[in-house]
Structure 1
Amino acid sequence: MFDTKVALIVRSDLAVWQKLNVAAFLATGIAAAAPDALGEPYVDAAGRVYGRMLGQPMLVFAADRAGLHATHGRAVERELTIVPYVAAMFETGHDAANRAVFLAGDPEAPDWVGLALRGPRKAVDKAVKGLALHG
């Protein structure tokens, strides 16, 4: 059992390609925020070395706009690691532009399309309370 938990929350009304894109970017954000959570490289029987992955499961939840806003508020209250993704980021072409549109957005009403959370298991559970696993 892990002391921490990782949850990706993706807005349910997105196109499939957008959901996958958001989940992938959020997962990289968690890996960057918690490099100690990465496992060792994979090595096959021929000795080829492959990349590392997060050493614990990531649960993917679906939420509507209201659910994302509520989850964000609970995550902030619990001081969890939060990785953001807002709708305006779909219109940019690189990381610096993503940060610029995020900074320019309304901090009290972001147009969330995804969030990644990491922290103590119970705190993450409380932050995602009421959300269903993405299906």
Structure 2
Amino acid sequence: MTAFLISGITAAHPELVGEAYEDADGLRYLPLLGVPVLIFEADAATLGTARTKALQRDLSLAVYTREMFATGHDAANRAAVRAVRAEHLDLVGIGLHGPKTPLDKIIKGARLHR
């Protein structure tokens, strides 16, 4: 789930991706995110509140719902989200990108994942 969420943030913000890697033999490797990624955990209510606050502040937001665990491909994931009204999404994860101060307020109640 974390990989799916961060892929959404990366797709929306390609400037977050660093340069490609190269070893001493000249072999090239894919670039990685050039910024830290912090992973927090929270209950469903906190995730829902954070989603609402992020949308109100026009911050980049990716969602992962419980229904997406049962799908087998990207189109089915999008259909699973589209089938549910925003306030009824059964969120199990969200991905956010934005300035630190607003993000701290948005994720209030969440704690660093252990």
Give the TM-score normalised by the residue count of structure 2: 0.95
- Tell me, yes or no, if structure 1 residue 132 matches structure 2 residue 97: no
- What is the root-mean-square deviation of aligned Cα atoms in Å? 0.9
Q: Which runs of 5 or more residues in structure 1 are unaligned?
A: 1-21
Give 3-state SS (helix, strand or coil) of 1:59's partner: coil
Q: Deviations over 1:42-61 (max 9, x none)?
A: 11111111011111001000
More deviation, 58-67/124-133: 124-133
Q: What amino acid maps onto 2:45 in structure 1?
A: A
Q: Give 1:130 shift.
A: 2.3
Q: Give 1:106 shift.
A: 2.2
Q: Which runs of 5 or more residues in structure 2 are unaligned?
A: none
- Tell me, yes or no, if structure 1 residue 57 matches structure 2 residue 36: yes
Runs of 4+ in 1 over 4 A off after TM superposition: none
Query: What is the aligned residue count?
Result: 114
Give 3-state SS (helix, strand or coil) of 2:108's partner: coil
Name 2:14's counterpart in structure 1: 35
Question: Which has the higher relative contact order, 1 or 2, with Cα contacts under 8 A spaced 6 or more apart?
Answer: 1
Give 3-state SS (helix, strand or coil) of 2:85's partner: coil
- Tell me, yes or no, if structure 1 residue 96 matches structure 2 residue 75: yes
Whether the 8 Å contact between 2:68 and 2:77 is mirrored in structure 1 is yes
Whether the 8 Å contact between 2:42 and 2:109 is mirrored in structure 1 is no
